[in-house]
Amino acid sequence: MPKSVRGRLDDNSPNPVDIYVGKRIRLRRRVLGLTQQEFADKLGLTFQQVQKYETAMNRVGASRLWDISRVLNVPIDYFFENMDSDTARQSPRAKSDGKISVIVNDDPMHQAETIELVTAYYKIKNRHAAQYLLCMLQELAKSVASGN
């Protein structure tokens, strides 16, 4: 039986799925305005452990991912949303037999860029200015769509 590499690639680098999950953790933490230390305190961890999760140097176990989802106020599937099929095919199980089918969610409401845009919009304290920005973006979208 081959030696376990705990989901790492043949060259011992982190698995792309773990990298993706770590990036999603970091994105959501930053959207909420939490430092690594603040986030770590809420989880009962050190900030170094948070760094290791975010960079995929350490894999996130199921129970820890559950805790992270509670602290970040997102469902578990948030950490896997919009994962491209190439990344998903790198999971340890998919690599071993290739029998995992992948459904890619192309819904723009789940894109990191959308989350960042909405977060920035609601940080605008002047609601009149925010509404003006929204109207401007809508007009820009119409203009681009019509080729003007």
- Annotated domain spans of the chain: 1-105, 111-148
Residue 96 has pLDDT above 80, yes or no: no
pLDDT score recorded for residue 3: 47
Architecture of the domain defined by 1-105: Orthogonal Bundle (1.10)
Q: Quote the Cα angle for 121-81-76, to 5°.
A: 95
Q: Percent of the chain, pLDDT > 70?
A: 83
Residue range 43-70: mean pLDDT, rounded: 96
Q: Where are the alpha helices (DSSP H) in the chain?
A: 16-31, 36-43, 47-54, 62-72, 85-88, 92-97, 112-122, 127-146
Cα separation, 103 vs 138, in Å, equals: 30
Q: Are 67 and 74 in contact (CB under 8 A)?
A: no
Write down the pLDDT at residue 101.
Answer: 53
